[in-house]
């Protein structure tokens, strides 16, 4: 902060993922994912938000995930961190509204499955791919951040569009029905062929 000075826009976009049944994860996986996916956002926000409050000006964009909207098998730890990012962002937004800091804004961004990168190799079945089409390029997410989060000041940004339908389904369907629909769509096996790009031998991968 001493070197950078006042910051008007802060985009928190660092993350890692590990896949597999929760019972197979060592506690180190939990510690590592929460440190990178969650603690890093806390640290940067705690440094820059006070000055944004003082100036009543700023926008913090936190990259969550489609997995921050719905639980998924083999991604329990990852989902926990991304749900936390979503809740953290919403709580900060409500605090700013309550404090009448209308010039300070908060957005959470929820990308679906990208063809390349962090979730490379993951596969849903035909129904799953139909309900949740893949995001072609990382640039598509970057454009959504600029055009929808920053320019249009959206509180939440979801891509692809079908993630909106998922939230509607959650509101209208009993949980057990939505859960069964996810299993029918192939969620239970979607990470079996996951490679995650340049995955290390710990089953983890990072993006920045």
| CATH number for the domain harbouring residue 43 | 3.40.50.720
- Given a contact cutoff of 8 angstroms between Cβ atoms, the answer to whether 186 and 128 are in contact is yes
- Token reading at 115: 């063809």
Domain carrying residue 143? 9-116+133-162
Q: Is 87 within the bounds of a domain?
A: yes
Task: Quote the pLDDT of residue 121.
Answer: 64
Q: Is 192 within the bounds of a domain?
A: no
Task: Measure the CA–CA gap between 185 and 150, rounded to whole angstroms.
Answer: 33
Task: Quote the pLDDT of residue 157.
Answer: 94
Q: Is 139 within the bounds of a domain?
A: yes
Q: Is 28 within the bounds of a domain?
A: yes
86 annotated active-site: no
Q: What is the pTM of this model?
A: 0.85
Which of 43, 53, 78, 86 is flagged as catalytic?
A: 78
- Token reading at 32: 């590592």
Name the residue with higher pLDDT: 5 or 85: 85
Task: Quote the pLDDT of residue 196.
Answer: 66
Q: How confident is the model at residue 46 (pLDDT cuts 50, 70, 90)?
A: very high
Task: Measure the CA–CA gap between 23 and 178, rounded to whole angstroms.
Answer: 23
Residue 155 has pLDDT above 90, yes or no: yes
Q: Is 103 within the bounds of a domain?
A: yes
Mean pLDDT of 147-158: 94
State how many domains the chain has. 1
DSSP assignment of 42-99 equals: HHHHHHHHHHHHHHT-EEEEEE--GGGTS--TT-HHHHHHHHHHHHHHHHHHHHHHHT
Name the residue with higher pLDDT: 196 or 80: 80
């Amino acid at each position: 902060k001493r070197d950078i000075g006042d910051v008007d826009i802060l985009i928190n976009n660092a993350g890692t993922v590990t896949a597999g049944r929760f019972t197979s994860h060592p506690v180190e996986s939990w510690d590592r994912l929460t440190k990178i996916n969650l603690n890093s956002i806390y640290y940067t926000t705690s440094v820059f938000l006070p000055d944004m409050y003082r100036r009543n000006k700023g926008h913090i964009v936190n990259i969550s995930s489609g997995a921050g909207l719905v639980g998924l098998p083999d991604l329990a730890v990852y989902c926990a961190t991304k749900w936390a990012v979503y809740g953290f962002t919403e709580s900060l937004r409500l605090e700013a509204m309550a404090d009448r800091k209308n010039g300070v804004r908060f957005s959470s961004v929820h990308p679906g499955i990208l063809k390349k990168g962090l979730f490379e190799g993951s596969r849903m079945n035909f129904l799953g791919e139909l309900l949740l089409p893949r995001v072609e390029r990382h640039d598509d997410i970057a454009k959504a951040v600029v055009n929808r989060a920053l320019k249009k000041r959206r509180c939440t940004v979801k891509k692809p569009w079908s993630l909106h339908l998922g939230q509607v389904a959650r509101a209208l369907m009993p949980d057990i029905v939505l859960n069964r629909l996810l299993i029918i769509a192939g969620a239970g096996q979607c990470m079996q062929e996951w490679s995650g790009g340049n995955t290390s031998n710990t089953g983890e991968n990072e993006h920045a």
